[in-house]
Amino acid sequence: MSERKNRGAISAGQWRRLIWPVLFASIAFAILVSLGIWQMQRLHWKEDLLAKIDSRVHAAPVTLPPPAQWAAMSDEEYEYTRYQLTGTFEHRWEALIFRPIGGTDRQPGYQVLTPMRVSGTDGYVLVNRGFVPEALKATSSRAAGQIDGEVRITGLLRAPELRSAFTPADEPSKGLWYTRDPLAIARHFGIEGVAGFSIDADEAPNPGGWPKGGTTVIAIKNDHLSYAATWFGLAATLLAVFSLFVWRHLRSC
């Protein structure tokens, strides 16, 4: 009788051999759960941000603040806000941002970024006037759209685009760029007092029909729920696999 009891009992040595596996598994489990919780927090942040962006896009336009306030306008707080501004385009400093797919025809072409000197100030804002196809790259092919004099536009504020390892090098000498970076464009042309953001002009038609405005694409990824599910799933898998490991270890002793 006592022999059967001894066989079924788990010795202290058996438990000691599990100390390090349990420790490492516990740390890994805690990390995985923490990552899942962090992604859930990011999900709530992203949903709140998307709701704010949606309200900004559909709100009535407001007047753009004066240049002295531009540096304090954070991307998260102001991006996609609809602004109205009046000024004069400086077509001599036009920059073309290449887009492999653009316009309603989804063909290669360019976003036309033109500095606008804001009326009554010494400040400039780069305005994305819209899309032109490859065939209309030259300004001479869309001369009617090179508006002179003071104009009023309405559009959405946009933060600078970030470069990636796959972004081609810009070609400033050709007026050709691959990212929407107002300050880099301003440095090339030697323009001072340029805002760090740009404005995407709305769909109001330009003379001659080009550039075509209203090109803003709002495609903000929100994959945090799937990321959270992945981390929680890995934590659950670890718990199940490690429990099986412990059970087999104790049975084999």
d(CA 32, CA 173): 50
List, in order, residues 6 or more apart from 247 with CB less than 8 Å away. Answer: none
Average pLDDT on 200-216 reads 92
How does pLDDT run across 100-155, given as a tens digit for each residue? 887 667 789 999 999 999 999 999 999 999 999 999 999 999 999 999 999 999 99
Q: Is the predicted pLDDT of residue 4 greater than 50, yes or no? A: no
Distance CA 191, CA 150 (A): 19
- Write the DSSP symbol of residue 10: P
Sorted by sequence, the CB contacts under 8 Å of residue 23 that are 6+ apart come out as none
Give the pLDDT of residue 253: 64
Q: What is the pLDDT of residues 222-248, one digit of tens each?
A: 899 999 999 999 999 999 999 988 888
Residue given tokens 């998260």 in the structure block: 76
